Amino acid sequence: MANLGYIGLGVMGGRMAARLLSKGHAVVGYNRTRSKAQALAGHGLRVASTPREAAAAADVTFVMVANSDALKSVADGADGFVAGLGAGKIVVDMSTVSPALSRALAARVREAGAEMVDAPVSGSVLTLEQGKLSIMVGGDRATFDRVHSLLEDIGPKVTYVGAHGLAVSMKIAMNISVAVQMLAFAEGILLAEKSGIAREVAVDVMTHSAIGSPMLQYRGPFVLRLPDEAWFDTTMMQKDLRLALDMGRELGVPLPTTSTTNEWLTAARAMGLADEDFAAVFQALARASGAER
């Protein structure tokens, strides 16, 4: 059993914290919307008033927040988690931010006497609840070895990919395919539907065909009905694609399908779908096709 902190108890972070609690770990949690932390109190979570309090009480502090600004807000200042660090402590940052920001934060954590790894995840609410989440880790190998078993309590596939910042680079590279697949799937469904095939039949055929990747098998049905709670909303996915486009310009890698998908996410947000699961790119394309229900 370990003394853990968890900062950021949203859709994924809250479920990860609950999973760590179920494994017998002591968890002190913080969330900017306190009610989300209070919801886990019945499962044994101790609610912290500040990120600093959570980090000070923990040997290993997990962080999973929405974007760069959110990460800075919980890390910086007198109440930020960096101020609660000391010798021997570890930060596991599971947020998806730019590799440069991740490396800069790791340097600040080290100045405070602690160590950090970046450890974003591949998967969804469903894969997390099924115990199939995949986790990538970047940082010092020795630090990775210290947190490996804790990460396995969250998901069974834990892969060390290299130095600081490389795990978030890997996550951003992977999310390109997730978003592009969803747009291509939407195009195919709409083409079939406007040919005269029922939408439900097209979804069934395509998700059980050679193109039916694990992601499409669980997210494909969202074109029939979006989930009540977004697993990964349109704004968040567009944030990741923008990070990819920035990396592409920096590294000299053309990203043509990423650029196109990013534009359709912009269209979805303009249509009021920003807070819906990013599968809402289908609804945007359906409206443009005259096939909206």
**pLDDT for 118:** 98
Q: How confident is the model at residue 1 (pLDDT cuts 50, 70, 90)?
A: confident
Instruction: Say whether pTM exceeds 0.85.
Output: yes
Chain mean pLDDT for the chain: 97
CATH homologous superfamily for the domain 169-289: N-(1-d-carboxylethyl)-l-norvaline Dehydrogenase; domain 2 (1.10.1040.10)
Tens digit of pLDDT for each residue in 243-288?
999 999 999 999 999 999 999 999 999 999 999 999 999 999 999 9
Mean pLDDT of the region 6-18:
96
pLDDT at 28: 98
**Quick one: which H or E segment has residue 116?**
strand 115-118
Active site residue 72: no
Alpha-helical (H) ranges within the chain are 11-22, 34-38, 51-57, 68-75, 99-111, 125-129, 141-152, 166-195, 199-207, 214-219, 234-251, 256-270, 281-289
pLDDT digits (tens, 9 = 90+) for 162-180: 999 999 999 999 999 999 9
Per annotation, catalytic residue among 36, 72, 157, 171: 171
Provide the pairing of β-strand 134-138 with 121-122: antiparallel
- What is the CATH superfamily name and number for domain 3-163? NAD(P)-binding Rossmann-like Domain (3.40.50.720)
Distances (CA, A) of 82 to 11, 188, 289: 24, 47, 50
Residues of the chain with CATH 1.10.1040.10: 169-289
Cα 80 off chain centre by: 21
Report residue 250 CA to chain centroid gap.
23
- Which 8-state DSSP code applies to residue 208? T
Residues of the chain with CATH 3.40.50.720: 3-163
Q: If DSSP codes are grouped into helix, strand and coil, which group holds residue 70?
A: helix
20-63 pLDDT tens trace: 999 999 999 999 999 989 989 999 999 999 999 999 999 999 99
